[in-house]
Structure 1
């Protein structure tokens, strides 16, 4: 099933965390009643983080990686295309970065732009990217984002990252969705809300294995705590471009003071909480692996808007609706998410 750009456009060796750990007191920012049962200890989080995203979230994950690579050790991108594919143009996005088999983004111009942004300090230096882990996934039956764009994303990353660090998976006959092994979810041949499907494929586990080198088996059920956070209080840049409420999943082990790492998961279009409730922030399988592997998962949330900017499906900005600097450190959403990350890892 195909969608227009306002119907779920593109909008999901071991990497050891740095020894530096940071403490963060949860009660200061959670938009929850301050009751005794919600009194949590400080989190001990590694400075290095990992990222993943689906569809527009995949584009966002790639953008965040290139902008703030010094703090990122790995990125997983599901059903996305090359970083800066749209070149600050909705027209180019629709023509070359969305669902057309004729998609042919100008990779030379795209990469020249990224090189120029690195030179001005608006992106991280390429030396900060070269040793990172990269996991690229695209279902071969995806009619929302042309599967051939995954190959271009792969070729793009080969310019920056050691080949052995990149995984490309394009041989799964899946639609435009986040594939799971949860048999309670919908048909993998369909692309429909909440864009999670039963595919007999555990994407959450596969991407984490690649990004982290190895992971312990996931728990049968998640027993950590999914906590709402006030994104506007944590990140001043979020007020004009993100929803007020975001989510943080905290395993019991991290609540108890064990050293943990942070993973940021970017939802796709029409996959934010206002559209699908807590389906995505609880249903991908990431939380089950978080429980058994000391991972705190941040689920930042966008907000829909019908005018100024035009983003009715709460997509992450991968074509420029927040401004021409959207894919750099000066971009409103990248700056906002970075402020969220810093709030937990500083």
Structure 2
């Protein structure tokens, strides 16, 4: 297993998040070259897109409350018609597969061989009124074509609304889909997805001991300046900060779930950080920004329908490029 080192730089602006030595190197990370990704809602769509684009570096993907990759086919109209809450229509998987195949043949997506052995974890709640559960079934159908069946887990029997399910008892109940879109469901999704993607994970810490640090996405990624917020967040366990070998996991928030909308609720509340502490996992929480002008994205969603351009789901997509550059900066160090 090959590891590389990185120095992470902080923003100098005041922040509600834990910061240490602003404008200075806060941690030297020793990160595995392969990563895992996950996301909720628009973040689930983004996680699937990232996996298809950069599968050569991704060994596992988890998608919660999402639908098929390229569901919207570069059309807001199709997104509204087929990829949300309508149970009388469905996306055209044959046309989608034709597009994805052509993109692979022109190197705009990773080859299917790159994801053949990857782990895939999908969850769609039966009470989700935002993204119909059947869309998760179609996503599962896609991945049955792309990955080994024994490597895929599809959780489709839980009575959850459109939310990130946790085993916490201080959140809304599982039938509610409201800000910050985390719920107490007596179900530990963070542990379930990490255990499948990584395997044999240790029990989570009762309380976190690492640091949630603010990073300048615009400095670390030139592609981030037009499509991502200036600030992103990185959770660094103590052992990772001390230079022990660690893995990187990227967690994509959902619509209206970025820090501007929910503060640190998502970056601290899913349970991922608790597992990060005991399993040497650094968590990257990239952040979108809301926009009421072009590109029109008032709810700070990840782009899964084409608001950043027609290539949004390929390696040429602005947001995919931005997050990929962030990942490379974490693995190999920021460009000077």
Q: Count residues with an aligned counterpart.
A: 326
Pick closer, same or farther for the CA change 1:108–1:25 going to 2, 3 Å: same
Equivalent residue runs for 1:149-164 within 5 Å:
149-164=135-150
Superposition deviation, residue 257 in structure 1? 1.0
Superposition deviation, residue 102 in structure 1? 1.5
TM, length-normalised to structure 1: 0.92
Pick closer, same or farther for the CA change 1:215–1:310 going to 2, 3 Å: same
Pick closer, same or farther for the CA change 1:36–1:91 going to 2, 3 Å: closer
C-alpha distance in 2, partners of 1:128/1:36? 39
CA deviations over 1:17-61 (Å, ceiling 9, x no partner) = xx11010012xx211477399753410000000000000000000
Which of the residues 251, 266, 274 maps onto 1:280? 266
Q: Does 1:322 align with 2:308?
A: yes
TM, length-normalised to structure 2: 0.95
Q: Does 1:197 align with 2:179?
A: no
C-alpha distance in 2, partners of 1:320/1:37? 35
Superposition deviation, residue 188 in structure 1? 1.2
C-alpha distance in 2, partners of 1:37/1:90? 40
Corresponding residue for residue 31 of structure 1: 11
Equivalent residue runs for 1:1-346 within 5 Å:
19-26=1-8, 29-32=9-12, 35=21, 40-346=26-332
The 3-state SS of whatever aligns with 1:40 is strand
Q: Which residues of structure 2 form unaligned runs of 5+? A: 13-18
Superposition deviation, residue 213 in structure 1? 1.5
The alignment's C-alpha RMSD in Å is: 1.3
C-alpha distance in 2, partners of 1:329/1:224? 32
CA deviations over 1:205-258 (Å, ceiling 9, x no partner) = 000010011100000011100000000000000000000000000000101110
C-alpha distance in 1, partners of 2:178/2:113? 39
Q: 1:46 touches 1:259 (CA, 8 Å); kept in 2?
A: yes
Q: Which residues of structure 1 form unaligned runs of 5+? A: 1-18
